[in-house]
Amino acid sequence: MSAITGIFMRNGKDVDPELMKKMNKKLSHRGPDGSDIWCNGPVGLGHQMLWTTQESLHEKLPFEENDLVITADARIDNRDELSKELGLKDEEDVSDSYFILKAYEMWGKDCPDKLLGDFAFAIWDKTQEKLFCARDHMGVKPFYYYLHDDAFFFATEIKALFSNNLVRKKLNEQKIALYLVDIRDKKFTFFDDIFCLEAAHSLTLSSNESKIRIYWELDRDYKIHMDSEEDYIKAFNEIFTEAVSCRLRSAFPIGFELSGGLDSSSIVCMAKKILSNNNNFQLNDLKTYSIFYDGFPEADESYYIEKVIETGGIKPHFVLAGNKGLLDKMDEILWHVEQPFFTPFMSYIWDFYKKMNKDNVRVVLGGYGSDEILGVGNYYLRELIVTFQWNKLMNEIKGIVKLSATTYSILFKKIIFSLIPMFIKNKMRGKNIKGGFIPRAHILNKKLINKLGGYENFKRFHRSYRGDLYGEIKPKEYQHMSINAITHNRYTAITTVSNSAFRIEPRFPFLDKRIIEFCYAIPTEMIIKSGWTKYILRVGMADIIPNEIQYRTTKGATDEVLYKNFLLFEKDFLENIIYSENEVIEDYVDLDFLKKSYDNYDKGIMDLDNLLCLWFSTLLFSFLLEFEKL
């Protein structure tokens, strides 16, 4: 979790080294272990170093070899494989960035797809006079840029770009509107003319040409067929073991997020199994971190967390949450994150990572991504109906009824509803806006909607983000769409940036490209079976995680934390936004709707959709106040 910066003066002017130093300094919080720049004529590259792996202790960036110069924020997980193909030694004094440079030397623009891991890098090719930039398959490492005919600037965080006089600090109203209606895109930022290099994309620049290229896409037609369920489970376990194992490479203490759910518990228990075979590792060194919502029994996961701890060899840590406002430290948080976000609980998560930082943790493994890669929505039952697979259908119905205590009548209503044509569903929902469903469109100022091209413009973005989410799609289509949505959500990039405040690198085993491709390609009945969701993960973790977690059917709910604490702690702030300083957001938000939503909330009328509109408006307000400080 280092930081990279760079300048390419496409008009041929020399880069000012002082400007590079200024950009680097803006990101010094990300890299306390070293800072350096490389400048030569029209190109400058910078780096802020954060040591995480043993190899990084020997790394110096930027560096040059064979007329190639690289800066990188990267962890490469297939070093062993690459060492054979590239003729390199997989040894401690050979850095991950060196593997990237040699991969580019051999494969050129095709090199990113040869790499496994999390990475964002830039290589200046002196011979071709081109700058080559790339970002990892799932967009874990951030990469922001400004492109002009005269110059190109890039950085790990947006604030570094404003060191340059050419880069204007201007709000992107399109992005603000998309945020308020919860439509997420891959490219735009909240700043005009500053873009995010999309996941699995590369960017090649010369003085007179720029080209963005997709180097990897999840193959919609990819399928894996095996002889038995046992074969699928064995293959999954091998891939999952490797995905966790390669993310344990660290020269510093590792932390593990432990919520008590299936995903995080699987990672913790698998890591313990792997590390127990390491003679240098003491099992009580395995540090887990859990958030405990005091006073909210519906969000209490302590029973399941304790079941993992009881397996032994774990040193647990708990962070008490729910006892303070949702906007606590928001100015500090927004300075780091640089954009409004979607979770209402960032102030609690902030304390979570602060605790890790005090324990000298520099790497943390989390379970994000499992819901998307192992999710097929409610579309499996519909597919069984329309393909006349009655035996499988009845088996699934019996399983769902047994596991969730759902009555047959309710379940059959869901099945019948899934067969109703889409245009009728929209009318039944009451959310048919000029022929297309747009979530939370009622929050937007109508003048802003017209200014940005009307509802058709928003429908276009919504289709890009979630496809025909409310249409008559197949389970595999939904799964593909959900995996693609991971890169839209930017959760990983936001997490990476927020963690930078505490010098912690997040790692996500479920976002391993090998796991994603495998879980997508296997039959749907290995994803959901007899009512069990995430079936292959559950059965694959037999004898690894506690039975109580392996076959749990419930999940802690935090909605009540939002309902109660937003009003309890932020009432004065909310009323100030709505009734006193509403000119800050009046160009973007329908104030009448906002007032109505707040009045209902204040009276105890709990509607999550309207409450989230209040939350998004509040975060936007806070962001606009901090905007000029970036």
Judged by average pLDDT, the poorest of 121-125, 289-293, 460-464, 612-616 is 460-464
Task: Give CA–CA dist 419/210, Å, rounded.
Answer: 47
Domain final residue pick, 434, 454, 475: 475
- Per DSSP, 500 falls in state G
Q: What is the pLDDT of residue 85?
A: 97
Write the CB contacts of 197 (distance below 8 Å, at least 6 apart in sequence): 120, 133, 134, 135, 143, 144, 145, 154, 203, 212
Whether residues 135 and 168 share a domain: the answer is: yes
Q: What is the pLDDT of residue 18?
A: 97
Domain final residue pick, 507, 529, 550: 550
Domain count within the chain? 4
Whether residues 311 and 445 share a domain: the answer is: no
Where residue 432 falls among pLDDT bands split at 50, 70, 90?
A: very low
Judged by average pLDDT, the poorest of 272-276, 424-428, 588-592 is 424-428
Where residue 294 falls among pLDDT bands split at 50, 70, 90?
A: confident
Task: Give CA–CA dist 347/332, Å, rounded.
Answer: 10
Q: Domain for residue 258, yes or no?
A: yes
At residue 627, φ and ψ (nearest 5 deg) are: -50, -50
Tokens describing residue 282: 């003491």
Write the CB contacts of 24 (distance below 8 Å, at least 6 apart in sequence): 3, 5, 35, 37, 46, 47, 48, 160
What percent of the chain shows pLDDT beyond 70?
A: 92
Whether residues 235 and 199 share a domain: the answer is: no
Task: Estimate the crossing angle of helix 608-626 against helix 330-337, to 10 degrees.
Answer: 80
Residue pLDDT, tens place only, 586-600: 999 999 999 999 999
- Per DSSP, 591 falls in state H
Judged by average pLDDT, the poorest of 180-194, 410-424, 575-589 is 410-424
Q: What is the pLDDT of residue 217?
A: 95
Tokens describing residue 101: 């440079």
Residue 136 has pLDDT above 60, yes or no: yes
Q: Domain for residue 224, yes or no?
A: no
Q: Give me the CATH number covering residue 19.
A: 3.60.20.10
Whether residues 8 and 60 share a domain: the answer is: yes
Q: What is the pLDDT of residue 371?
A: 93
Whether residues 75 and 148 share a domain: the answer is: yes
Q: What is the pLDDT of residue 418?
A: 63
| Cα separation of the two ends of the chain | 20
CA distances from 179 to 53, 100, 430, 507 (A): 36, 35, 22, 26
Q: Domain for residue 221, yes or no?
A: no
Judged by average pLDDT, the poorest of 56-60, 102-106, 107-111, 450-454 is 450-454
- Residue 589 in 3-state DSSP? strand
Please, which residues bridge with residue 364 across strands? 255, 506
What mean pLDDT comes out for the span 106-122?
98
Q: Domain for residue 325, yes or no?
A: yes
Whether residues 204 and 250 share a domain: the answer is: no
Judged by average pLDDT, the poorest of 18-22, 223-227, 462-466, 565-569 is 462-466
Task: Give CA–CA dist 224/519, Å, rounded.
Answer: 9
CA distances from 266 to 117, 253, 495 (A): 20, 19, 21
Write the CB contacts of 589 (distance below 8 Å, at least 6 apart in sequence): 180, 443, 444, 445, 617, 620
Residue 470 has pLDDT above 60, yes or no: no
Q: Give me the CATH number covering residue 495.
A: 3.40.50.620
Q: What is the pLDDT of residue 495?
A: 86
What percent of the chain shows pLDDT beyond 90?
A: 72
Residue 287 has pLDDT above 60, yes or no: yes
Whether residues 117 and 10 share a domain: the answer is: yes
Contact 197, 133 (CB under 8 A): yes
Q: Domain for residue 480, yes or no?
A: no
Where residue 469 falls among pLDDT bands split at 50, 70, 90?
A: very low
Contact 348, 291 (CB under 8 A): yes
Residue 332 has pLDDT above 80, yes or no: yes
Whether residues 415 and 440 share a domain: the answer is: yes
Residue pLDDT, tens place only, 341-399: 988 999 999 999 999 999 999 999 999 999 999 988 777 887 888 788 888 888 878 88
Q: Tell me the pairing of strands 151-155 and 3-9.
A: antiparallel
- Residue 347 in 3-state DSSP? helix
Q: Domain for residue 240, yes or no?
A: yes
Which residue in the block uniquely carries the two structure tokens 């095996």?
226
Residue pLDDT, tens place only, 50-73: 999 999 999 999 999 999 999 999
Amino acid sitting at position 505: E
Average pLDDT, the chain: 90
Residue 77 has pLDDT above 50, yes or no: yes
Neighbours of 331 (CB within 10 A): 11
Please, which residues bridge with residue 5 across strands? 46, 155
Residue 430 has pLDDT above 60, yes or no: no
Whether residues 18 and 113 share a domain: the answer is: yes
Residue 55: closest CA among 117, 17, 99: 99
Judged by average pLDDT, the poorest of 94-108, 141-155, 431-445, 494-508 is 431-445
- Top-confidence residue, 453 or 37: 37
For the entire predicted model, the pTM comes to 0.93
What mean pLDDT comes out for the span 509-517?
97
- Per DSSP, 312 falls in state S
Q: What is the pLDDT of residue 148?
A: 94
Q: Domain for residue 384, yes or no?
A: yes
Contact 458, 438 (CB under 8 A): yes
Residue 503 Rama label (left phi>0; alpha psi -120 to 50; beta): left
Q: What is the pLDDT of residue 435?
A: 39
Contact 448, 181 (CB under 8 A): no
Whether residues 461 and 604 share a domain: the answer is: no
Q: What is the pLDDT of residue 433?
A: 43
Q: What is the pLDDT of residue 379?
A: 79
Q: What is the pLDDT of residue 463?
A: 63
Neighbours of 479 (CB within 10 A): 23
Residue 326: closest CA among 627, 630, 614, 625: 614
Range of the domain at 574: 559-629
Domain final residue pick, 550, 576, 602: 550
Whether residues 50 and 193 share a domain: the answer is: yes
Whether residues 143 and 160 share a domain: the answer is: yes
Tokens describing residue 56: 């990084």
Task: Give CA–CA dist 69/97, Å, rounded.
Answer: 11
Q: Domain for residue 223, yes or no?
A: no
